[in-house]
Amino acid sequence: MDMKFKTTKEYKKLKKEFIIMNFVFVSIYFAILIISGLCIVFIIWSLNVGDIIGISGCLMLFVVLLPFVIMDHISEVKEFKVTVFKKQLLPLENIVGKLGEGKILRSGDDKIE
């Protein structure tokens, strides 16, 4: 494992949540794509003005909601990357802080000065 987490369990839990969220977002993307395609096909098949107006309203609703779904997905990915990055830097901060205080002892040395 290339991440510097306290436990492997902690990393696996974070990764599992990230995978589940990505699956949900991909499902939403495909649902919007399929429904939009079906709406376009239905518009072509139907010649009633009322149906065309209703389906056009649904398409506009999808177009309005899609950017919010995409922004939420992007923020979720950024949050995951920031969390992983912070977990990687935490051990480095502990090591650097202890080196400055002279608390890390090497084998065979009594004290670092």
Confidence category of residue 109, pLDDT binned at 50, 70, 90: very low
Of the candidates 30, 22, 10, 13, which has an alpha carbon nearest to the alpha carbon of residue 75? Answer: 22
Confidence category of residue 99, pLDDT binned at 50, 70, 90: low
Q: Is-contact 15 96, C-beta < 8 A?
A: no
Location of structure tokens 């004290």: 111
Q: What is the pTM of this model?
A: 0.41
User: Which residues have CB under 8 Å from 76's CB, separation 6+?
Assistant: 18, 21, 22, 25
Percent with pLDDT over 70 in the chain: 63
Q: Is-contact 111 105, C-beta < 8 A?
A: yes
Q: Is-contact 80 18, C-beta < 8 A?
A: yes
Distance CA 89, CA 95 (A): 10
Length of the chain measured in residues: 113
Distance CA 65, CA 77 (A): 19
Mean pLDDT of the chain: 71
